[in-house]
Structure 1
Amino acid sequence: MTTDDDLRLSLRSDLAGLADAIRTSDTLLAVGSVVSGLASSSTHLDLLLIGPGAPAKSVAASVAGLRSGSYVLASGQSVTVRFCSTQELAPVRDVVMHFAEAMVEPSAWANIPSLDHPTHVLLHEVRNGITIAHESIAQAWREALYVDQLPTYLASTHLLRHLDRRENVEQQLVDQHLESAQWMLRESLQDLLAALLASIGETNPHRRWHLRLARRHQEVLGHDLVDRLVKALCVWHDVDEEAEVRAALELADEVRRDIVERIPGLRVLSLAVER
């Protein structure tokens, strides 16, 4: 497998001509599945360009409307470039500032901001992208957007959603709606898996990759834990087996304790929700 350093050198070499054309006020990042090692043979390279300029629509705390264009480099390689103006990032920065506040002030959890999926994607890309041009500007945006807090933010929000859905599973069991209980169980476990990955710093926003990422990190997470969690997510149980749903809930509690051990700051949040 190509190492991160080899990938950086390869991309910077392939994109040298493009990097030379980037304004000194801008930064260019290689992002997406190629960078994360999840690309297929048909995947093209994604780039993110951040720089001054007027946004394409009214500024809001969302980047769902980013512009993009497809290009073919001199080498024949196809790339997709998404453009994000610094004006569009300013309100996002105002929202994510609350991440840091919540880390030191427990009462701030009640008002922790909610990020839409495109903004989550952007923060993940800024955090994990490989800088092709102007590293100092990229690093300044990583600091301004508090991307170091993104794993804890995701672990907390996914854990909250898991606990909410877990409660729903319990109620469906009480009401003897076993099919509904299994359906909600799967949703709750998906959020739990996302929280578990975030607890080790994995912030990929696309659920389609989460099982593969769990397998990739199973040396850290534990082979047995990953095996049991994958089985609970992927095997559709007999609808008459309430005991299997109960067993999956016990596994979920074990995973949750593992998450809280990795991020001690979540212990207060977890206990508060349980009460």
Structure 2
Amino acid sequence: MLKKPLGMLGVFLIVVGLGYFVGAGVAYSKVQSGYGSLQAFSEAQNVTLNYNEDGQLVDRGTVEGAQAIMSLLENDWNFPVVDSDLDPNDPLVNSASEYMFQMATIVFHVLHGEQAVTLTADDIAAGIASEKLAADGTYEGVVEAYQGQVLEPGTYMVPVDGRYWTGFARTDILDGPAREGAWSGTAHALVGELGVGAATHSTLQLALGVAALLAGLGVVCTAMGVAFIWHTKKDGEVSAPDRIPEAMLQDRPDVATENV
């Protein structure tokens, strides 16, 4: 009674499996197109990582500099770096780990740099008028190096001290301009662009995994469908016995006599 439904189920599973194969093929094709586009974009930018003769990452000529950047990336940002993506034979930045390392390089130097803030006589007068400075020009802001000092027209070096955009005192006469200099539009744009590259590569890897999953489901469904059809056909086969059973001979005496 179940032979026909099992056979129909087998056909259905094969059709579903073929659908999965088609989906996997389309997904794989799109992924390859995406990889090609990302590669072309990376080649056009021509941003490369630096390695020494031993194949170690370096920053500004030192391995220690690259290690400090890697520490920021792995420990502070908790990014899972794929070591195989960092290939000295292919220094072009075109993978998620390479994009993120380049981003960390920019951020690291911003965080550990200092900014030159130039104040004019008008700036100091405006600071006194807005009470950013005391009446005699004494600085009472957040930059410790100049606290209690009477500011004169000139240039003041303000350390970034590991601070991101929101870590600065925006209205401070020294810290505010230092923030604009450290986290400039260029720095933000580069970080954003590299972030898009990293996200794009990660998305393509995810899409490739989906394509592989669809192909795997196609294999499973097709194999199950073939198994159901084979089982149905096998159960439907009829074979004749080699000899007549004894019970049937006993029910027919004439046949039994002839056999004697």
Name the TM-score class by shorter chain. under 0.3
Of structures 1 and 2, the one with the larger relative CO (CA 8 A, separation 6+) is: 2
Q: Which has the higher strand share?
A: 1
Which structure has the larger Rg? 2
Q: Normalized against structure 1, the TM-score is what? A: 0.21
User: Scaled by the length of structure 2, what TM-score is found?
Assistant: 0.22
